């Protein structure tokens, strides 16, 4: 306890050190006695992703973060694509999520994002089977197109008719939360309506994400003491966690009752029902889904994947397109050619979306610069040597920065900071393939995101529907910067004005 109480004193002293350090041009970060490099990160916490990028550039793509004996934090941080190829693919068995990840992201339980070894293999195989099923593909298309027509369009028509500002990020979060709840649970919370109602369990998601990043920026003992005392960000996290768990367990209970009362052939398709049926009747039967805890963890992982990543990507996409008129013009030209009949937008089938090559490039370029998940964790099982030459001890915690990778000249060239969809289009008009360990937005190797294809489909449907039917103008003077969260939201939302393109 005495050591924990020294933290505030140490941080205060570190700011005194930093007063002098900030004038020192010989290095970007100083490893102080006792407190290590922690002061530099705390001082730059408000723009941590940009700060981390500057450090990685300075140190050649990889450096060891020393938190000092007082903090107990020791990490290897990298944006070197060859290191990431080695970690995610070449020596994948040596690098799992590890115990520390599961402690930090305890809200995810034992779901696919935090599990390792046999548990991870089982869950991935189960979800892979379901996402490839034609029933899911048809259901997914029905949900997304239905939510566009009955939710998104009415809301945008309403705000455009009133001429009022709207937070487009909030609209997208409502859209994706409704959609993913329908796909996973067969339940529509109707967050996306003209009234834009407050929904406690949706807002709880944001509060959890902010608190989880805080756990990355302070010593482990610090946030664990806060959790024990139920103060600060940990109090906020526990409350949000409780709110969301109540929502999920209530949905599970409802679905259980429905399955007991309704004949199997009459059950409406959703991932929850499909998971239970597949696990009980398929080749993988092991009665795991009899546990509400397993279903709770699976549900929360799927909801997190389907809500925040897509809403974040869409928000940054519309900001980039709205501030690059030439890109918008090319996308509109492509939509008119492939998705428009008599000036009316339509998507009759998903295959049509593959013709939108330039839009695909613009989405890839968005995800390159603003990956929804800005960093990933790994932990070594055995000793190893990375391609960069760094020696890895057993149980070494590794963080690779997806955000920084999109800003590395060594990967993307001297124009890496430019938003240029053309870099994704070949001379013959096709999509340029970039290895996943370079274009890392969907992770790489064995843990590559299972939802990659449906993410592109959903983003293309929403993007084409909005761009063809409306003009989106960012409110003048609106500040745009990444939030301090484990998901790359916009800190202040995206305030825009919407007007109909065709009257």
Which string of DSSP letters, residue by residue, matches 256-268?
HHHHHHS-GGGSP
pLDDT of 265 over the 90 cut: no
- At residue 341, the 3 state secondary structure works out as strand
At residue 133's C-alpha, the angle toward residues 263 and 290, to 5°, is: 50
What are the backbone angles phi and psi of residue 493, rounded to the nearest 5°? 70, -175
Instruction: Identify whether the C-beta of residue 30 lies closer than 8 Å to the C-beta of residue 24.
Output: yes
Nearest to 194 by CA among 226, 157, 242: 157
Q: What is the CA radius of gyration of the chain?
A: 23
- Which residue's entry shows tokens 């909005």? 466
Q: Which helix (H) or strand (E) holds 78?
A: strand 74-78
pTM above 0.85, yes or no: yes
d(CA 212, CA 182): 26
Report d(CA 442, CA 434) in Å as an integer. 12
**Predicted local distance difference test score (pLDDT) of residue 404:** 97
Burial of 118 (0-12, 13-18, 19+ CB in 10 A): exposed
Q: From CA 454, how far away is CA 131, in angstroms rounded? A: 9
pLDDT in tens, 10-32: 444 444 444 444 444 444 788 88
Beta bridge mates, 399: 77, 377
pLDDT digits (tens, 9 = 90+) for 128-185: 988 998 899 999 999 999 999 999 999 999 999 999 999 999 999 999 999 999 999 8
419 pLDDT more than 60: yes
Q: Which two tokens stand for residue 227?
A: 């959790």
**Which tops the pLDDT comparison, 276 or 77?**
77
- Tens of pLDDT, residue by residue over 336-349, are 998 887 777 877 67
Vertex 101 angle, CA 170 and 184, to 5°:
45
Q: Is 379 annotated as a binding residue?
A: no
Picking from 205, 203, 178, 202, the residue whose alpha carbon sits closest to that of residue 192 is 178
Confidence check: pLDDT of 282 > 70: no
Ordered by where they begin, the domains of the chain are 94-370+424-500 (1.10.630.10)
pLDDT digits (tens, 9 = 90+) for 331-389: 999 999 988 877 778 776 788 899 999 999 999 999 999 999 999 999 999 999 999 99
Distance linking the first and last C-alpha atoms of the chain: 67
The helix/strand count (H/E) of the chain reads as 20, 12
User: pLDDT tens for residues 40-72?
Assistant: 877 888 888 999 999 999 999 999 988 777 666
Query: Cα separation of 54 and 56, whole Å?
Result: 6
CB proximity list for 80: less than 8 A, separation 6 or greater = 60, 61, 62, 386, 387, 388
């Amino acid at each position: 306890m005495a050591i924990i109480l020294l933290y505030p004193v140490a941080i205060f002293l570190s700011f005194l050190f930093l007063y002098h350090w900030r004038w020192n041009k010989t290095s970007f970060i100083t490893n102080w006695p006792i407190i290590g490099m922690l002061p530099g990160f705390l001082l730059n916490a408000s723009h941590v992703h940009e700060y981390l990028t500057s450090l990685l550039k300075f140190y050649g793509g990889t450096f060891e973060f020393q938190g000092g004996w007082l903090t107990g934090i020791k990490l290897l941080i990298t944006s070197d694509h060859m290191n990431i190829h080695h970690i995610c693919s070449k020596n994948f068995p040596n690098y799992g999520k590890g115990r520390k990840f599961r402690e930090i992201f305890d809200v995810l339980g034992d779901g696919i994002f935090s599990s390792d070894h046999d548990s991870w293999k089982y869950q991935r195989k189960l979800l892979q089977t379901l996402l490839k099923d034609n029933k899911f593909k048809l259901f997914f298309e029905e949900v997304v197109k239905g939510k566009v027509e009955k939710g998104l369009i009415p809301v945008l028509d309403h705000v455009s008719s009133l001429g009022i500002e709207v937070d487009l990020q909030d609209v997208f979060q409502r859209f994706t939360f409704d959609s993913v709840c329908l796909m996973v649970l067969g339940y529509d919370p109707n967050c996306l309506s003209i009234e834009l109602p407050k929904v406690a369990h949706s807002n709880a998601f944001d509060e959890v994400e902010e608190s989880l990043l805080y756990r990355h920026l302070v010593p482990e003992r610090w946030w664990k003491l806060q959790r024990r005392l139920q103060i600060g960000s940990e109090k906020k996290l526990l409350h949000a966690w409780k709110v969301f768990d109540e929502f999920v367990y209530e949905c599970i209970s409802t679905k259980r009752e429905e399955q007991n009362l309704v004949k199997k052939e009459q059950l409406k398709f959703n991932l929850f029902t499909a998971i239970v049926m597949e696990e009980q009747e398929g080749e993988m039967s092991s009665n795991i889904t009899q546990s509400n805890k397993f279903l709770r963890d699976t549900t929360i992982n799927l909801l997190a994947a389907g809500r925040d990543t897509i809403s974040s990507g869409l928000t940054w996409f519309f900001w980039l397109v709205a501030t690059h008129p030439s890109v918008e013009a090319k996308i509109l030209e492509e939509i008119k050619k492939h998705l428009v009949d008599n000036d009316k937008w339509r998507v009759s089938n998903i295959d049509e979306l593959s013709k939108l090559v330039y839009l695909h490039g613009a989405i890839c370029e968005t995800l390159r610069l603003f990956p929804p998940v800005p960093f990933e964790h790994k932990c070594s099982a055995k000793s190893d040597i990375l391609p960069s030459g760094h020696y890895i001890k057993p149980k070494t915690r590794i963080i690779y920065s997806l955000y920084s990778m999109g800003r590395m000249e060594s990967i993307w060239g001297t124009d890496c900071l430019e938003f240029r969809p053309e870099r994704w289009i070949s001379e013959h008009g096709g999509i340029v393939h970039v290895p996943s360990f370079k274009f890392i937005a969907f992770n790489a190797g064995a843990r590559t995101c299972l939802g990659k294809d449906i993410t592109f489909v959903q983003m293309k449907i929403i993007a084409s529907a909005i761009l063809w039917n409306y003009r989106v103008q960012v409110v003048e003077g609106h500040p745009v910067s990444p939030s301090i969260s484990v998901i790359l939201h916009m800190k202040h939302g995206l305030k825009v004005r919407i007007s109909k393109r065709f009257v």
